[in-house]
């Protein structure tokens, strides 16, 4: 069961590991990222950031979709992490269970504009966001669980 799907360009860090993980009661953090799945150094580095009692899986987008759609993984309580709107879109498209996406952090990049203090999106991101909204997917911004929810559609 996916407890939260989160976009955070830093993927796994202290805020995610020690605030979101206990608040959600997850036992598995799944990083869905094609680049990181092939990078042993990044996998090792991210492994250092996970809470001791939590399983960390790092898989490609395709392998993540396969895992999360497999009934054998239903017992897991998963925090799904991606680092871009594009990857979140791919997860939503491939995993019918996902009905909501949390925006945690997207640093500014060329062609992007801030829609909140920690979220910068470009035109391609906005196109995908609008498509997700049209499919009824809830898109909310919160850095930590205790923050008030800001709905992305109100900030575009």
Per-residue confidence (pLDDT) for residue 27, from 0 to 100:
96
**111: containing domain:** 2-154
Number of structural domains in the chain:
1
Mean pLDDT by 10 residues, the chain (156 residues): 97 94 97 98 94 95 98 96 98 98 94 95 97 98 95 95
DSSP 39: -
Per-residue confidence (pLDDT) for residue 109, from 0 to 100:
87
d(CA 13, CA 17) in angstroms, rounded, equals: 6
Q: pLDDT tens digits for 44-74?
A: 999 999 998 999 999 999 999 999 999 999 9
Q: Are 102 and 145 in contact (CB under 8 A)?
A: no
Specify the pTM: 0.96
User: Is 75 assigned a catalytic role?
Assistant: no
CATH number of the domain enclosing 24: 3.40.35.10
Please identify which of the residues 10, 13, 43, 130 carries the catalytic annotation: 13
Q: Are 88 and 131 in contact (CB under 8 A)?
A: no
């Amino acid at each position: 069961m996916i407890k939260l799907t989160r976009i955070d360009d830093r993927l796994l860090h202290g805020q995610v590991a020690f605030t979101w993980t206990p608040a959600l009661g997850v036992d598995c953090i799944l990083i869905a990222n094609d680049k990181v799945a092939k990078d042993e150094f990044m996998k090792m580095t991210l492994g250092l950031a996970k809470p001791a009692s939590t399983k960390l899986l790092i898989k490609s987008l395709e392998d993540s979709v396969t895992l999360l759609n497999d009934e054998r993984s239903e017992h897991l309580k998963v925090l799904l992490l991606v680092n871009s709107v594009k990857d979140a879109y791919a997860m939503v498209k491939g995993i019918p269970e996902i009905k909501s996406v949390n925006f945690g952090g997207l640093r500014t990049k060329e062609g992007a504009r801030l829609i909140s203090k920690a979220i910068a999106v470009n035109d391609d991101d906005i196109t995908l966001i609008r498509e997700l909204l049209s499919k009824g997917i809830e898109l909310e911004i919160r850095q930590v669980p205790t923050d008030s929810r800001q709905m992305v559609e109100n900030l575009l």
